[in-house]
Every structure is written in structure tokens, then in C-alpha cells.
Amino acid sequence: MISLFLLLSPACAHSRVPDPRTAARAYADAAVRGDARVLFEMMTRASRQGLSWEETRKLVDDERVELADQGRELESPQARVEATARLRFADGEEAALELRDGRYWVTAAGALPGGARTPEEALEQLRRVLARRSYAALMRVLSPATRAAVENDVRTLVDGLSAPGTLPVEVLGDGAVVPVPGGHRVKLKREAGVWRVEDFD
């Protein structure tokens, strides 16, 4: 499977996107021939900054046999091209898109995180939902088991606090500890005459 990553801007999101299979075929042909120049020209600007022309030429020379084998595999009828794109907005947020049946479909966007394909993508989704302080979005990026455990803890805490006036409050100066049914405990602290939740588990 070949993944071709495109970085789009909102302005060009509606432009006609070239068929990714054309790029895959061009790469396969260049790989079989060991054409370093074509392979280098197909690289993104960022990739060229990380790998110079001389480094690319040397790499192609050293890996010529492996590249040729890879190129022939890409030319196989069984090879499948998968195209994805990232749409970057002015505020820095991104939407992940996937090309299927001739059109792009949203796989992850802002408040709607989708399935991360790498650990780094999962961490980025976690960072975003935490930055937005979004509980609902946080639940969507957790694994099913973790989500179920968190939701169970929250549910038992909510149920345990349903009648706060009946709970035993242990006051120690400006601090208090409240045992809550369900195995939870809430710590309170008084500051300037106002009681606030300091911690809970």
C-alpha cells in the first residue's frame, strides 16, 4: 500500500486534485530505472531540506536493487494506492482527509478526532482535545476500555454526590475530606471564605 500525503490550504481545497495513481506509477518507473533525478524532484520541499540531491543520488545508487524490486511491486495489479491529505486552517488546526471513490472524505477534524494511524497522530489528537478542555472530545480519543473505565468512574462519582447534604464531611481547619459512595474521595479547601474542590479520586 502506498500512502501519498498532500498538504492543502483552504483556498485550494476545491481545486481538482491529480490522480495519486499517476504519482505512484511515476515513482515506480523511476525506482525500477534507478532515476535519482526524478525521485528527487518528486520529493516535497521539506524532504529536500532533509535530504540533499547528492545524498539522494548516493542513496539511490546504494539501494538500486531494492528500489527496483519496490518499483516492480508497485507496478503489480495487486498494489493499492491510498491518498490522504491534511487541510490546514489559519488557526493552525488541521483536518485529515482520505481519498475514496474519487472524492475526499473527512477522517479527523478539529472537535471530531478520527482514527489515528500512528502513535504521533494519537498524541497530537490528545494535545488538541486537552488544549480545548473538551471532555467529549477527550472521550473520543481514548481506547474503548479506558473510555469505559473513565465514564464508569465519573458516573459513580456523580451518583455518589447526588445527595451532598447527607455525606460525612471531615473538616480540618481550612481543609475538608469527603468520602463519597462508590469508593471516591473529594478534598476541599477554603480560600478567602470560599470552599473549592482541591482534588478528587
- 5/20 Cα distance (integer angstroms): 10
Percentage above 70 pLDDT, the chain: 79
> Span 56-68, mean pLDDT?
87
Length of the chain: 201
Question: What is the pLDDT, as a whole number, of residue 51?
Answer: 83
- Structural element, H or E, at residue 51: none
pLDDT of residue 4: 39
- Cβ 188 vs Cβ 197: under 8 Å: yes
For residues 160-172, give the mean pLDDT. Answer: 90
Residue 179 confidence class, pLDDT cut points 50, 70, 90: very high
Q: Which helix (H) or strand (E) holds 66?
A: helix 64-74
Percent of the chain whose predicted confidence (pLDDT) is above 90: 15
Query: pLDDT value at position 18?
Result: 65
Residues near 25 by Cβ (< 8 Å), separated by ≥ 6?
74, 75
How far is the C-alpha of 96 from the C-alpha of 118, rounded, in Å? Answer: 13
pLDDT of 47 = 82
Q: How confident is the model at residue 126 (pLDDT cuts 50, 70, 90)?
A: confident
Phi/psi of residue 112, nearest 5 degrees: -120, 70
Given the C-alpha cell 481547619, which residue does it identify? 173
Are the C-beta atoms of 5 and 23 separated by less than 8 Å? no
State the residue for C-alpha cell 546504494.
62
Check pLDDT > 90 for residue 189: yes
pTM tops 0.75 = no
> Using the 8-state DSSP alphabet, how is residue 40 labeled?
H
Q: Where are the beta strands (DSSP E) in the chain?
A: 2-8, 81-88, 94-100, 103-109, 170-172, 175-180, 184-191, 194-200
| Whether 110 contacts 125, CB under 8 Å | no
Within 8 A by CB and 6+ apart from 55, the residues are none
Does residue 22 carry a pLDDT above 90? no
pLDDT at 177 (0 to 100): 94
The mean of the pLDDT values for the chain is 78
Does 85 have pLDDT greater than 90? no
Chain mean position to CA 133: 17
pLDDT at 3 over 50: no
Confidence band for 95, pLDDT divided at 50, 70 and 90: low
pLDDT at position 82 is 75
Q: How many beta carbons lie within 10 A of that of residue 75, not counting itself?
A: 14
